[in-house]
Amino acid sequence: MPCFNDGPNQKNTRLTVNIDELLKTVRTSVQALPSNDLELCDLANELGIALAKSVGTDKSYEAEVLSGIKHGFDLVRKNAEADDEQQE
């Protein structure tokens, strides 16, 4: 499902991300952190840095990423609720 930014600064162009490069950047930065037991905030920071390096630092890109993350959490919650209802 595509992500859409509804903000006032929405870009007309759709950016693509080289997944291999993004994963390489994330892996390198996460491995450089002092612990293998990462806090969620640390992981989110590293993902944000990797994405910003891939697409740029424009606020509309940030809003699109945050919207996508929220949408992902919403989907996981809905799936968990549906699973709970099926188990009842």
Residue 62 sits in the same domain as residue 86:
yes
Q: Which of 65, 76, 18 is nearest to 26 (CA)?
A: 18
* Number of domains, the chain: 2
Q: Looking at the domain assignment, is residue 48 inside a domain?
A: yes
| pLDDT recorded at residue 1 | 45
Q: Looking at the domain assignment, is residue 11 inside a domain?
A: no
The CA-atom distances, in angstroms, between 36 and each of 24, 25, 27, 44, 71 are 17, 16, 12, 15, 27
Residue 46 sits in the same domain as residue 75:
no
Looking at the chain, how many residues does it have?
88
Q: Looking at the domain assignment, is residue 8 inside a domain?
A: no
Residue 52 sits in the same domain as residue 73:
no
Q: Looking at the domain assignment, is residue 40 inside a domain?
A: yes
Q: Looking at the domain assignment, is residue 10 inside a domain?
A: no
Task: Identify residue 78 by its one-letter amino acid code.
Answer: K
- pLDDT tens-place string over residues 12-57: 567 788 999 999 999 998 888 887 777 889 889 999 999 999 899 9
- pLDDT tens-place string over residues 56-69: 999 999 999 999 99
- Which range marks the domain in which residue 42 is found? 16-57
* CA distance from start to end of the chain: 29
Which pTM value belongs to this model? 0.68
